[in-house]
Amino acid sequence: MTQPFLILETGQPVESMRRHRGFPHWIRVAAGLHPDEAVVVNVEAGETLPSRDGFAGTIVTGSGAMVTHRHDWSERSAAWLRDAAHAGMPLFGICYGHQLLAHALGGEVGDHPAGREMGTVDLDLHPAAGDDALFGPLPAQFAVQTTHLQTVLRAPEGATVLARSVHDACHAFRWGQSAWGVQFHPEFSATHMRGYVQARKVALQREGHCPKTIAGNVRATPQARRVLRRFVHHARGLAGR
């Protein structure tokens, strides 16, 4: 029997997008996982973190929370992720999950000095991504969906930074051989991204951005989804050894 993936739910989508269900559902669908191939634990709501045994890997969702707020549930999750990473469990952190994983492994997370990054943006891969299990087969530049205020200011010691955008120097990193963090949202469709731009319309205008332009530039990001699916494939390969 195929081992399921654990999805740690660290937050909810913006209210206007909850009619499309929550992050775990979006991630499961984007990853190509059937309902019985994923177990969701809502750590933000205080649900107990399980044993690592019996899971092919763990995916950590995004959140409206901030890692720097050091919520009890977040710090407990960070400790769990640190132990899981050192034990070699395949891990994949998305947005907040990316930042939480970096924090757990000794990196630095904080407000991005240039503020918000939002919409469909192009990533450039670093040369080190060439032999990465997830990013190696991808083109040197590809589009992703992103929305964040905080960022990984300093990657954990020993981590390899794999990708950057014009705005953000650490859009993806790998620690060891089986733990990845990505600042972008591989589970977001163009519909999800446009919904987020609309939900943040007032904040974007206040910050000097044009929501209409950002929404108009939203496009599909198939290579980003490919990263998530390659993680699932990679983790299953490790579990089958």
Q: In this predicted model, what pLDDT tens digit does every residue of 151-198 receive, in sequence order?
A: 999 999 999 999 999 999 999 999 999 999 999 999 999 999 999 999
Is the pTM above the cut of 0.75?
yes
Task: Verify whether residue 108 is a known catalytic residue.
Answer: no
pLDDT tier at 241, thresholds 50, 70, 90:
low
Phi/psi at 105 (5° precision) = -95, 10
DSSP string spanning 14-51?
-GGGGGG--HHHHHHHHHT--GGGEEEEETTTTPPP--
Q: Show the tokens assigned to 108.
A: 């630095």
Task: Verify whether residue 185 is a known catalytic residue.
Answer: yes
Active-site hit among 98, 185, 209, 234: 185
pLDDT surpasses 80 at 240: no
Q: Which fold has domain 5-239?
A: Rossmann fold (3.40.50)
Active-site hit among 103, 148, 187, 209: 187
DSSP string spanning 61-114?
---SS-GGG--HHHHHHHHHHHHHHHTT--EEEETHHHHHHHHHTT-EEEE-TT
Q: In this predicted model, what pLDDT tens digit does every residue of 49-90 receive, in sequence order?
A: 999 999 999 999 999 999 999 999 999 999 999 999 999 999
pLDDT value for 200: 97
Question: Position of tokens 């080190």?
Answer: 128
CA separation for the pair 219, 131 (Å, rounded) = 27
Q: Does residue 46 come out as left (phi exceeding 0), alpha (psi in the -120 to 50 range) or beta?
A: left
pLDDT value for 236: 95
pLDDT tier at 239, thresholds 50, 70, 90:
confident
Active-site hit among 95, 103, 171, 209: 95
Of 121, 230, 134, 143, residue with least CA distance to 175: 134
Rounded CA Rg of the chain = 16
CA separation for the pair 237, 228 (Å, rounded) = 14
Task: Verify whether residue 210 is a known catalytic residue.
Answer: no
Q: In this predicted model, what pLDDT tens digit does every residue of 90-141 receive, in sequence order?
A: 999 999 999 999 999 999 999 999 999 999 999 999 999 999 999 999 999 9
What is the rounded average pLDDT of the residues 32-41? Answer: 97
pLDDT surpasses 90 at 212: yes
Q: Sort strands 179-182 and 172-175 into parallel, antiparallel or unpaired.
A: antiparallel
Sequence spans of domains, the chain: 5-239
